Structure 1
């Protein structure tokens, strides 16, 4: 048995005894060292009209990494004791299972380092779908963990990045990760005018919306240029959205929903993420800012919502 986090009511996790998960055919069990907290955890934690309780043990945790400690039938290319990052869904617990095709080994360069692989894989997949080219002006609306990584990837690709976010410390983080310009996200029309000034009225060839709310989506639509590409990276899960279809039609833009559901694509993103961090292209240290034990999961998700000073991403320490 193990003690896993179970959501028992809105904004209330409890540690409850649950059976140790057993790997099935083609699966491995991982003794988790940690799991990142995702912004997508906030709304289910607060409660949604369709929510039911209690949740599955460990549920909502999908950014785990750790050490392989059991092999299912037919698994021959992964060894016990290997350190891995993985794509799974019950990692707010000491153990989780994953299909062998959905995990990637962590090289020696990442020994003893936290590695929430799933959000990094998302960033890699979003970047690929963005089709960013050298010399383009790229606006990123929302600088948290995802926005910061995308700022680094886009600037490394030769783009001129305009970072737009609410908090001054987020804009400073964007500058650290390569943004050429930063704009405070406070006044809709002032932001549009500033982007026009920076682009000679042309607006942006690419805009990545990385917040998941209505206003940032509206703002992203307003600052995309003619024939540009709007990439929706924010996770919109709190209700329907409206878009200015007249503006989209007039500008002739492409709109990309960058959320991938193909397991092969997600595995590719995970492999790219491991390589990028192991090689030093992406520095995770400034992004993993707040650490909590599993028993303080409520506090970790509340911090993800409220963003106290210096906050970028919360990590649940399990190892």
Structure 2
């Protein structure tokens, strides 16, 4: 192992079971062969983390007790045997899925469809609501020196958006709609604006979020009620809200022969997509869950080139011992709540 720990203890937020957490102090973890230790700079909290904390996440996708935190950035502090020591000191992010790398889907480059079983940082493996994080070096996506690590903490949702853009295949001059103007939606607006659309509309009931989307490159903002008059207009619709009605509404916004990409995490009972409309309109519908290695590379490249500006989405920051207050904000519906970060 190369590199040295700057301190002798490391804190982490452990969720023992739904609704119960504690701040634990232990020795600084050491990376094993093929692993790195990262000093966490910032970690974002999303609705998936709130669902984990509230016990609402599908049991197949969480393992208690767990240290949450799948959206993060940091600096490589030490490396294990077999890992390039030149990584020490590099700012970085990393993929969350622990893909096996050998199954048929992984060998085809579709690592988010790994058939080796579900494993993900912050859900089944220790996450970044901690001072330090140890993970396989193969998951790293190093960043340029001097990068804004506060902003880089949002590269995980940006990678999901990049996966949606890959699936949607936007072409210059197309009419595009983004349904939802939360973190995913606003990142989608930024990335899709770079494809030179002829029209880029955002649909969200919150006027302030619509205004923010306009600042990020959207050409127009609509409430869901206003958008009902635009059904059948768009070549590509990217759904990011995960609300009960947004999958069906997104399909209605698409033109005949159009494309729809669903990224929201829907709960049981959500409005279904009309199969008659789907077949008669000849829609192409794709869903996105997580991001492949290729999508991560796209997101990191766009961020490094300045095509993504995630820092403006951050509204609140808390230290690790402020986890209880931070998690209560996420999903609270507050108009001033954007991305909430923990800053170890």
TM range (shorter): 0.7 to 0.9
Matched, 1:218 2:240: no
Q: CA RMSD in A?
A: 2.4
Match of 2:268 in 1: 239
Deviation at 1:170, TM superposition (A): 0.5
Matched, 1:55 2:64: yes
Cα distance per residue 1:25-49 (max 9 Å; x no partner): 2111111111111222222222238
Match of 2:158 in 1: 120
Cα distance per residue 1:247-278 (max 9 Å; x no partner): 111111011112246xxx33x33333233223
Matched, 1:94 2:143: no
2: CA distance, partners of 1:292 / 1:77: 32
Q: How many residues align?
A: 303
2: CA distance, partners of 1:255 / 1:157: 20
Determine which of 229, 241, 252 is the counterpart of 2:282: 252
CA shift in 2, pair 1:131/1:97, >3 Å: same
Deviation at 1:290, TM superposition (A): 1.1
Cα distance per residue 1:178-205 (max 9 Å; x no partner): 11111113x3xx5311x15xxxxx4211
**Where do residues 28-39 of structure 1 align in structure 2 (5 Å cutoff)?**
28-39=36-47
CA shift in 2, pair 1:272/1:78, >3 Å: farther
2: CA distance, partners of 1:253 / 1:50: 29
Match of 2:334 in 1: 308
CA shift in 2, pair 1:255/1:31, >3 Å: same
Match of 1:205 in 2: 235
CA shift in 2, pair 1:225/1:275, >3 Å: same
1: CA distance, partners of 2:205 / 2:190: 19
Match of 1:45 in 2: 53
Determine which of 2, 12, 34 is the counterpart of 1:26: 34
Matched, 1:164 2:203: yes
Is contact 2:165–2:192 with CA below 8 Å preserved after alignment? yes
Match of 2:310 in 1: 284
Is contact 1:4–1:57 with CA below 8 Å preserved after alignment? no
2: CA distance, partners of 1:161 / 1:175: 9
Determine which of 283, 293, 310 is the counterpart of 2:319: 293
Deviation at 1:50, TM superposition (A): 6.1
2: CA distance, partners of 1:299 / 1:244: 41
Cα distance per residue 1:86-124 (max 9 Å; x no partner): 224111111112221211222124156441121122222
Is contact 1:204–1:228 with CA below 8 Å preserved after alignment? yes
Name the SS of the counterpart of 2:314 in structure 1.
Answer: coil
Point out where structure 1 has 5 or more consecutive residues left out of the alignment: 197-201
Match of 1:146 in 2: 184
Deviation at 1:57, TM superposition (A): 4.2
Point out where structure 2 has 5 or more consecutive residues left out of the alignment: 1-8, 97-120, 122-126
2: CA distance, partners of 1:144 / 1:258: 16
* TM-score of the aligned structures, taking structure 2 as reference length: 0.80
1: CA distance, partners of 2:58 / 2:241: 23
Is contact 1:152–1:178 with CA below 8 Å preserved after alignment? yes
Name the SS of the counterpart of 1:259 in structure 2.
Answer: coil
* TM-score of the aligned structures, taking structure 1 as reference length: 0.86
2: CA distance, partners of 1:154 / 1:67: 29
Match of 1:105 in 2: 142
Is contact 1:29–1:97 with CA below 8 Å preserved after alignment? yes
Is contact 2:151–2:309 with CA below 8 Å preserved after alignment? no
